[in-house]
Structure formats: structure tokens, C-alpha cells
Amino acid sequence: MKGREPGPPGDRVRAAVVREFGHPPRYGEFPDPASGANSAALTVAAAAVSPLVVSRAAGLHYSDVSALPFVPGIDGVGRTTEGERVYFLFPSPPYGSLAERVAVPKDHLVAVPEGLDDVTAAAAANPGMASWVPLTRHAPVRRGESVLVNGATGTAGRMAVQVAKYLGARRVVATGRDEGKLRALAALGADVTIPLGAAGKEFREAVRREARDSEVGVVLDYLWGPSAEAILSALGGPDAPRGPGRIRYVEVGAASGTTVALTGAWLRSSGVEIVGSGIGSTSAPDLRAGIGEFLRAYAGARFRIEVSVRPLSEVEVAWPGALGEQRLVFTVP
């Protein structure tokens, strides 16, 4: 759906602009967003690209509300007119974070702690909240229990391994398809790694064994699809592992599939609770609080994240590799 460019005539900013779904954003001009009584005008320093941003730019995400043209980007780091350095979240469409300036509701701002630079804060906040919020709000880690991260070799999964360990998980069990990347997770805190392979019988048996031996209490799933079915089947049924509490299964992403098959009998016989973590599942105050907690933890714990930094002017060239091995962060002059 195409729309007329908003904003007052004359005032323009340099920005990445989506003018056609299915094509990379182009660097150009867009109306300067006007701030109001309940919003803050920010000068953007850095903004990262997440799977959500890419999906929205393609017109494919369930939360997409933008008419063309629009500026992509849901978060970033910037400075207020008073000079305060803040992480910001969810500018109002059609404005996004991949621009020189942005207007954001005042209650969507989180202070960035000293010792955490702009690029790192912009890169880490989104994947960090994808594990910090589930493990502190939806399924808090209990003393003595372990966490299984399904899809631990991606950016969010690697951060989840570190966050789970930081929050006191007894052991962290990590799954992934690339065995080389899985082995590297030991340096980030993974105690056990299970290759996905075809997510068949061998995989299910390994998950069931670790769930029992490590007393897995939480599963963070960034993949869904076939691997989720295999894990759920390993955790359910009459022979399923039974720990001291119910296993909380948190669906965070769907990189491998959008659906799973569940039978009523399995659900009735399992000790598993399935919840989601994403837009709409967490209150705005809880989300802001969780992000602030994570950024402060990052500043002290020095979690690790791999980052690729490009100037915003190169957005069209860099966009096809936005979801590569490293977190893509655009800096704004």
C-alpha cells in the first residue's frame, strides 16, 4: 500500500527509505519527524538491523503497520536535545531508526550506561532482550535448573547462552545445525551442545537425556518448526523427564518454520508450559525495564557480540547481508 510522504514540507533528513517491498531500502531524503508534547526528538548515532526489521521492510511481519514509503528500523541509540544518551524503541511509523533524526515517545527511552559505546548498545539490545525478558519475566530461571537454547548459533542464540549463564542457570544446553559454531559456544558458557542434524530420533534422545540429567527448566526456542516438534516430543509423554517443576517452553523466533504439530494427548501428558515472547506478549513497562537491566548487565559482564559496522549511506549495498554472521549496525554521521 502506497501513501503520501508525511511531515511538513521543506524539512528533510537523510534516511534509509523503503519505497517498494522486496527491494533494499535506499539512502535518500525523508520528511523530518516532528516531536510533540509526549515525544522526544533524537539525533541518531547508531541503529542495528534485526530479523524483525528485515521482515517488516519486506512487508512480511505480523506486526507490520507501515504504508509505503517508510523508514525501517525499530530501535537504536541516540541523543536527546539535552545531550542525554539513550536507547530508543519503536518510533511511530512511517518513521524508523535508520535516519539522522527520529521522534520517539518519551516512555520508549532507556538510559545507556557509561562504559557501553553506541554501536555495542545498538547491536546488543535487541538480541539481549530476546533472552533477558523471557528469562526474567516469562520463565525466570530457578535455582538449580538448566536452560536449553534451541538455535544457539545465531546472534540472539549466542546472546541467550551468555544471559542464561549470567542469570544463574546450572547448565546451558545449546542446539544448532553448524557443529563448528556449536563447539565455539563453549567459550560463551554452553556446557552441552546437541547438533540438530535432521532432528530425528538421535536428536530427541539426546534432548531427553540432557533434560533429565541437567534438570532443564526452561527452553528458549529461536527456530520453531521441525526442531521444536522434536524437542517437545522429547519433553512430553509418559517417559518424559520429570524435574522438580514444570518445563517452561518459550517460543521467541521462527527461523525454521512457522507451525508445529501438537496432539491433545501429548499436551495432557506432558509437564510443559508453552508461552510466547515477542511484540504483544510483554507490557511496555516490563520491556523497558528489562532492556535497562540487560544494558546495565552488559556494561558490567561484558557479554560478547560480533558486529559489522557500516555508514547509513551504504544501506542499499549492505542490506542483502543484513542477517549474516555479524550483527549489522549502521552509524549515522
pLDDT at 172 over 80: yes
User: What residues contact residue 265 under an 8 Å CB cut-off, 6+ apart?
Assistant: none
When pLDDT is averaged across residues 280-308 and rounded to a whole number, the result is 93
When pLDDT is averaged across residues 269-275 and rounded to a whole number, the result is 88
Residue 9, pLDDT score: 47
- Neighbour count for residue 56 (Cβ, 10 Å): 24
Q: Express each pLDDT in 239-266 by its tens digit.
A: 667 666 789 999 999 889 999 998 888 8
Residue-wise burial string across 103-121, b where 16 or more C-beta atoms lie within 10 A, e elsewhere: bbbeebbbebbeebebbbb
When pLDDT is averaged across residues 88-109 and rounded to a whole number, the result is 94
Domains of the chain (ranges; CATH) run 12-111+303-331 (3.90.180.10), 127-276 (3.90.180.10)
Residue 1, pLDDT score: 42
* Amino acid sitting at position 138: H
Record the cell numbers describing residue 199, joined without a space.
532432528
Residue 93, pLDDT score: 87
Residue 4, pLDDT score: 43
Q: With cut-offs at 50, 70 and 90, classify the pLDDT of residue 63.
A: low
Residue 10, pLDDT score: 53
**What's the length of the chain?**
333
Residue 224, pLDDT score: 96
Residue 262, pLDDT score: 87
Residue 157, pLDDT score: 97
When pLDDT is averaged across residues 43-59 and rounded to a whole number, the result is 93
pLDDT at 6 over 60: no
Q: Express each pLDDT in 110-166 by its tens digit.
A: 999 999 999 999 999 999 999 999 999 999 999 999 999 999 999 999 999 999 999
Residue 35, pLDDT score: 78
pLDDT at 7 over 80: no
When pLDDT is averaged across residues 279-284 and rounded to a whole number, the result is 85
When pLDDT is averaged across residues 9-28 and rounded to a whole number, the result is 90
> What CA–CA distance (Å, rounded) separates 172 from 195?
14
- Neighbour count for residue 283 (Cβ, 10 Å): 10
pLDDT at 200 over 70: yes
Beta bridge pairs of residue 195: 176
